[in-house]
């Protein structure tokens, strides 16, 4: 199932196979221990050796006791190998034999999941170079393991809007609250979205959004600035009076100095504005910032020109842009083009009809990205809530829908990312693995993340445990349990 593996409870060995997933966690041992070898386990190793290769050479000890140059007791798939000095000539075990023994189940290694509890990274198998490791076995049962989700676009939750800044301490505490809340939804990392606000607000907040890890919560991966270079005719819930034209402003004027700009990982802008392509080149080449097209009235050709300038994605496709027309496809038509960019979709059943969502996904599954575009009412009860720096109006929450009071203008969503994954699976008919990819691997590829988003050796052991329906049961960060459903 590609990056998604079905887990079966087979044995304490926790071996991953395509239909069975295991997790082995390495932790530092405290003090020296001596463990007597279990003959039954060792005999199994010998039997495996004989099946997969030539029989042990004469004098090869059935107990398979061998020496490790670093010392210590070693565990391999819970078959305990006691370390001793036994370099007798007639019974010497060469390291090449040891290496061969470790590679007998090479097929298993490809499907096994090992996590190093010291580094917090996935590794391919246990090795003899680890320092006094001990195995911890985690029984997973009939559950599913996938990479932890990545939230590309969230404006806040739990009454916290990211544009509200009172002081550094409270803002830092609010980020930690959001981090823990998102971990409950299977999220391992998130980008703080700052909508169109004044330059003073951008400059005040951005320095506090540089990437960092949080204990027991999702990591802050940086900022996504959705504005202020947007088209007022497609403002949505943004404040049109604060929107700017690229040819008349600069990155430094609106976002601040290098300390602020370094926190920005993505900018959404309208490509039809004067000076947009030059700005796209400056953002991408000069600052290594991803550019997404959105809140725009651009036509198809203008979108293509923006892609050639360096843009790589589109923000909440179909929302705040011209509708798809058979003779004038607009930005949405880029989804099926040869130069197709990544494109994000709000799969809450409010911003998009289920059929529209399914159509967009099937047009290019490997470029499809799920976002929530959640606002501060996410996680709160229905009701009327005050505005903030982005929206100076009261906001009405009804279920997952939030609108400006007295209008039908959508502000954002209150859906969670795991809910969006389940919705995509249900409405498009895709597999759960394909839906998860839109909230993990696709985002990692678009954002150039090489440390997360995929379960593979060398990446962070950030993963989520799901049931068959896609409900989040556990979230693990760096090989440590961050959330477990009660």
> Using one digit for the tens of pLDDT, what is the confidence trace for 66-106?
333 333 333 333 333 333 333 333 334 434 444 444 454 44
In eight-state DSSP terms, residue 32 is -
3-state secondary structure (DSSP) of residue 267: strand
pLDDT score at 473: 95
> pLDDT confidence of 420, banded at 50, 70, 90?
very high
pLDDT score at 112: 60
Beta-carbon-side half-sphere exposure of residue 316 (alpha carbons within 13 Å) = 26
**Lowest mean pLDDT, pick from 11-15, 98-102, 249-253:** 11-15
Q: According to the per-residue pLDDT averaged within each range, which of 2-6, 124-128, 214-218 is highest?
A: 214-218
pLDDT score at 34: 27
In eight-state DSSP terms, residue 42 is H
**Lowest mean pLDDT, pick from 72-76, 235-239, 348-352:** 72-76
- Sequence-distant (6+) residues with CB within 8 A of 169 are none
List, as own/partner pairs, every contact residues 243-246 make where C-beta atoms lie below 8 angstroms and the sequence separation is at least 24, other chains included: 243/196, 245/273, 245/274, 245/275, 246/273, 246/274, 246/275, 246/276, 246/278, 246/279
Q: Max CA-CA distance within the chain?
A: 89
Across the strands, what pairs with 191?
A: 222
Give CA–CA dist 200/282, Å, rounded: 22
pLDDT score at 413: 86
Contact between residue 446 and residue 266 where contact means Cβ atoms under 8 Å apart: no
Closest by CA to 222, choosing from 148, 160, 314, 151, is: 151
pLDDT tens-place string over residues 185-218: 999 999 999 999 999 999 999 999 999 999 999 9
Q: Is 373 a catalytic residue?
A: yes
Contact between residue 42 and residue 76 where contact means Cβ atoms under 8 Å apart: no
Q: Of these residues, 348, 373, 418, 462, which one is catalytic?
A: 373
3-state secondary structure (DSSP) of residue 36: coil
> pLDDT confidence of 22, banded at 50, 70, 90?
very low
pLDDT score at 339: 86
- Sequence-distant (6+) residues with CB within 8 A of 162 are 155, 156, 192, 193, 194, 205
Q: What percent of the chain has pLDDT over 90?
A: 60
Give CA–CA dist 361/357, Å, rounded: 6
pLDDT score at 95: 40
Across the strands, what pairs with 149?
A: 187
The pair of three-digit structure tokens given for residue 454, joined into one six-digit string: 């995929």
pLDDT score at 409: 86
Buried b (16+ CB within 10 A) or exposed e, 131-147: ebbbbebbebeebbbbb
Total residue count of the chain as it appears in this document:
486
Buried b (16+ CB within 10 A) or exposed e, 260-279: bbbbbbbbbbbbbbeebbeb
Buried b (16+ CB within 10 A) or exposed e, 305-336: bbbebbbbbbbbbbbbbbebeeeebbbbbbbe
SS3 for 208-249, per residue?
HCCCECCCCCCEEEEEEEECCCCCHHHCCCCCHHHCCCHHHC
């Amino acid at each position: 199932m590609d990056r998604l593996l079905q887990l079966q409870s087979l044995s304490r060995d926790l071996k991953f196979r395509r239909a069975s997933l295991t997790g082995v966690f390495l932790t530092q041992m405290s003090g020296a221990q001596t463990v007597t070898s279990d003959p039954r386990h060792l005999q199994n190793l010998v039997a495996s050796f004989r099946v997969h290769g030539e029989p042990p050479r004469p004098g090869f000890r059935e107990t398979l006791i061998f020496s490790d140059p670093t010392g210590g007791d070693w565990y391999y798939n819970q078959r305990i190998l006691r370390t001793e000095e036994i370099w007798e000539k007639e019974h010497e075990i060469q390291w090449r034999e040891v290496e061969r023994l470790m590679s007998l189940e090479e097929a298993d290694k490809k499907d096994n999941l090992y996590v190093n509890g010291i580094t917090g990274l996935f590794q391919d198998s246990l090795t003899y170079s680890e320092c006094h490791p001990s195995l911890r076995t985690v029984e997973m049962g009939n559950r599913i393991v996938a990479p932890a989700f990545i939230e590309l676009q969230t404006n806040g939750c739990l009454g916290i809007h990211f544009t509200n800044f009172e002081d550094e301490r409270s803002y830092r505490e609010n980020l930690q609250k959001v981090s823990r809340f998102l971990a409950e939804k299977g999220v391992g990392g998130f980008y703080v979205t700052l909508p169109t606000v004044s330059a003073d607000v951008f400059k005040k907040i951005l320095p506090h959004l540089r990437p960092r890890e949080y204990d027991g919560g999702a990591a802050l991966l940086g900022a996504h600035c959705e504005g202020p270079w947007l088209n007022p005719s497609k403002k949505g819930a943004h404040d049109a009076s604060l929107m700017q034209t690229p040819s008349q402003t600069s990155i430094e004027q609106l976002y601040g100095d290098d300390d602020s700009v370094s926190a920005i990982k993505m900018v959404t802008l309208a490509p039809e504005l004067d000076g947009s392509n030059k700005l796209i080149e400056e953002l991408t080449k000069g600052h290594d910032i991803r550019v997404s097209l959105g809140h725009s009235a651009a036509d198809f050709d203008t979108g293509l020109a923006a892609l050639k300038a360096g843009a790589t994605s589109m923000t909440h496709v179909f929302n705040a842009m011209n509708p798809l027309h058979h003779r004038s496809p607009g930005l949405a038509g880029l989804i099926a083009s040869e130069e197709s960019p990544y494109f994000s979709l709000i799969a809450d059943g409010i911003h998009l009809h289920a059929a529209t969502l399914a159509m967009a996904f099937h047009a290019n599954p490997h470029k499809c990205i799920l976002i929530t575009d959640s606002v501060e009412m996410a996680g709160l009860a229905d009701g009327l809530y005050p505005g903030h720096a982005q929206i100076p109006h009261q906001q009405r929450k009804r279920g997952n829908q939030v609108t400006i009071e007295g209008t039908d203008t959508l502000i954002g969503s209150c859906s969670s990312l795991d809910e969006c994954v389940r919705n995509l699976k249900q409405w498009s008919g895709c597999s759960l693995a394909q839906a998860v990819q839109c909230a993990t691997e696709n985002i990692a590829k678009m954002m150039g993340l090489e440390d997360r988003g995929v379960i593979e050796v060398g990446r962070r052991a950030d993963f989520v445990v799901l049931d068959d329906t896609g409900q989040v049961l556990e979230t693990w960060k760096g090989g440590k349990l961050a959330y477990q459903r009660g």
